[in-house]
Amino acid sequence: MTEIRRVGVVGLGAMGAGIAQLCVEAGVETVGREVTAELGEAARGRIGHFLTRKVEKGTLQQEARDAAVGRLTTTTELADLAGCDLVIEAIVEELEPKRVLFAELERLCRPDTVLATNTSALSVTEIAAATSSPERVVGMHFFNPAPLMPLVEIVRAQLTADEPFEAAFAFGTRLGKTAVRCHDTPGFVVNRVLIPLLNDCLRVLDEARVSAEDLDTAMRAGAGWPMGPCELVDLVGIDVHVHAAEALYEKLREPRMAPPPRLVAMRNAGLLGRKSGRGFYPYPR
């Protein structure tokens, strides 16, 4: 099985930076690729900040923090990922850019490099089909915030071979995650359930004329959720949720999958949640 010594992460947004943080904390040399040096530095700053908070809270030693940050290099050149044993893609949730990237990664990386996508709701099989070696393409779907959420779904696409699949599973476990194996179906396991569930919650806003605050309170206090649905879509990103819901609706044609119009309107108005400073709530709260 491919031994994972060096990992590449493409895209250092909320998910990619979280995944890179997990890798360096697990002792793995990590190369993060962003489109500009400034974005790479900003991600390094966020990772450094979260690791510093762990030191302040006494869950990480200062030396371990510094060593972890030292394992991260950032680059704007995809070619710098050539020596990686595993590359995890966490770029924009659109099929075409992902397919272009995977074709490029296939050209740049060794034939035994495992190529993983963190896609939420796109087809891993369709991404893999952009390469001539789809057997080494796998889904590694982390949850937001990646450093805190225990799960990673290891997704077997139509042509994924056993060895890269098991290498991805073992690596997810090495990152300290609870890994589950599943097949490449729309939404995999969690999003297949969570997206229509969140859509239902948001439709209740209008149906029951309940405020966002009260809906969140109700789901925390009445269903034991750690966060209310409005807080959660603000965290995930309203654009990300709408896109995932549209992708599931396109594939499954179930009305509950379609994003509620209120959410589409918010996305169109630039109310994207935490990352834009405003969603259901203003941020910082």
Q: In this chain, which of 42, 55, 108, 149 binds ligand 3HC, going by CB under 6 A?
A: 149
DSSP 278: B
Among 53, 107, 110, 262, binds ligand 3HC (CB under 6 A): 53
Rounded to whole angstroms, the Cα distance separating 156 from 241 reads: 23
Terminal Cα-to-Cα distance of the chain (whole angstroms): 46
Cβ-contact 281, 234 below 8 angstroms: yes
Q: Is 167 in the site for ligand 3HC (CB under 6 A)?
A: no
Task: Count interface residues toward ligand 3HC (CB under 6 A).
Answer: 18
Residues marked active site are found at: 120, 141, 153, 191
Q: Establish if 22 lies at the interface with ligand 3HC (CB under 6 A).
A: no
Which of 11, 13, 147, 260 binds ligand 3HC (CB under 6 A)? It is 147
The Cα–Cα gap between 186 and 80 comes to 32
Candidates 30, 120, 131, 199; binder of ligand 3HC (CB under 6 A) is 120
232 binds ligand 3HC (CB under 6 A): yes
187 binds ligand 3HC per the rule CB under 6 A:
no
Q: b/e string for 74-107 if b means 16 or more Cβ within 10 A?
A: beeebebbbebbbbbbbbebeeeebbebbebbbe
Q: What is the C-alpha separation between 255 and 154, in angstroms, rounded?
A: 27
Neighbours of 27 (CB within 10 A): 12
Q: Is 45 in the site for ligand 3HC (CB under 6 A)?
A: no
Site for ligand 3HC in 61-100 (CB under 6 A): none
List Cα–Cα distances, 279 to 98, 129, 185, 283, in angstroms. Answer: 27, 36, 30, 8
Residue recorded with tokens 């034939």:
111
Listed ranges 34-42, 145-153, 160-168, 270-278: which one lies at the site for ligand 3HC (CB under 6 A): 145-153
Q: Stretches 24-32, 64-72, 103-111, 232-240: which one binds ligand 3HC (CB under 6 A)?
A: 232-240
18 binds ligand 3HC (CB under 6 A): yes
Distances in Å between the Cα of 69 and the Cα atoms of 175, 231, 270 are 16, 30, 33
Asked if 244 is part of the footprint of ligand 3HC (rule: CB under 6 A), the reply reads yes
Task: Enumerate binding residues for ligand 3HC (CB under 6 A).
Answer: 18, 50, 53, 120, 143-145, 147-149, 191, 194, 226-227, 232, 236, 240, 244
